[in-house]
């Protein structure tokens, strides 16, 4: 089975992944039934490792919960060379050209990668290195904040895989790159 780089992210109808203050409270504005995980467990079960930007890593570190991942986390950073001591068992810093990072992780046996964080996702899209996107649309217009998408050199066609409506309000659509290029 082909390995892939995935985006799985909550996004407002106007395309933001965090509000003007970096806040994420709006992601929880629709109450979801107990046990409803918006497909998270199924998605998380498919991935081998996470690759996230420094800002997202620091955001996760700042959450008032235990470390939420039991899979390897790679932190993309041009400035940070190592993670803080408390995270040494959990995360590792990577840098360099994105295709090389991906190739190196694949070489280490990490096939399916979960690409997370706005800047990182935008960089991966610009480099045409995203294979699947699972977009979870929260019914709100934020009117400003951190955008999910950025400029691309050329349009990127996608194939619709499926769409599910969760809690009668949250529209989750799964897309796949229209033209699979082996690399």
Report, in Å, the least distance between residue 32 CB and its own copies: 13
Picking from 45, 108, 42, 43, the residue whose alpha carbon sits closest to that of residue 74 is 108
How many residues touch its own copies under the rule CB under 8 A: the total is 38
The two tokens of residue 13 are 């109808």
By beta-carbon proximity to its own copies, the closer residue of 11 and 113 is 11
Contact 26, 19 (CB under 8 A): yes
By beta-carbon proximity to its own copies, the closer residue of 20 and 108 is 20
Stretch that binds its own copies, among 32-40, 52-60, 62-70, 156-164 (CB under 8 A): 156-164
153 scored as a contact of its own copies (CB under 8 A): yes
The span from the CA of 61 to the CA of 149, in Å, is 24
The span from the CA of 1 to the CA of 12, in Å, is 32
The two tokens of residue 110 are 């990490």
Report, in Å, the least distance between residue 10 CB and its own copies: 14
Report, in Å, the least distance between residue 36 CB and its own copies: 15
The span from the CA of 156 to the CA of 139, in Å, is 25
* Neighbouring C-beta atoms of residue 56, cutoff 10 Å: 22
Rg (CA), the chain: 16
123 scored as a contact of its own copies (CB under 8 A): no
179 scored as a contact of its own copies (CB under 8 A): no
61 scored as a contact of its own copies (CB under 8 A): no
The span from the CA of 180 to the CA of 2, in Å, is 10
The residue written with tokens 């995980």 in the block is 37
27 φ/ψ sector (left φ>0, alpha ψ -120 to 50, else beta): alpha
Among 105, 115, 142, 146, binds its own copies (CB under 8 A): 142
Under rule CB under 8 A, which residues in 18-37 are in contact with its own copies? Answer: 19, 26, 29
Among 157, 179, 181, 182, binds its own copies (CB under 8 A): 157
Report, in Å, the least distance between residue 45 CB and its own copies: 24
Residues in touch with its own copies (CB under 8 A): 13-15, 19, 26, 29, 125, 133, 135, 137, 139-144, 148-160, 163, 165, 168-171, 173, 175, 178
């Amino acid at each position: 089975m082909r390995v892939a780089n995935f985006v799985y992210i909550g996004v407002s109808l106007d395309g933001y992944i965090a509000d003007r203050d970096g806040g994420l409270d709006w992601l929880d504005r629709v109450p979801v039934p107990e046990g409803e995980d918006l497909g998270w467990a199924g998605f998380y079960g498919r991935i081998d490792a996470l690759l996230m930007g420094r800002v997202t890593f620091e955001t996760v570190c700042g959450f008032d919960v235990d470390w939420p991942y039991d899979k390897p986390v790679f932190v993309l950073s041009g400035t940070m060379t190592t993670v803080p001591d408390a995270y040494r068992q959990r995360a590792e810093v990577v840098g360099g050209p994105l295709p090389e990072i991906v190739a190196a992780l694949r070489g280490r046996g990490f096939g399916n990668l979960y690409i997370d964080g706005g800047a990182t996702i935008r960089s991966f899209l610009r480099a045409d290195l995203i294979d699947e996107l699972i977009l979870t649309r929260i019914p709100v217009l934020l009117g400003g904040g951190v955008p999910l998408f950025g400029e691309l050199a050329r349009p990127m066609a996608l194939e619709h895989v499926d769409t599910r409506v969760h809690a009668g309000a949250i529209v989750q659509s799964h897309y796949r790159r229209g033209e699979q290029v082996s690399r």
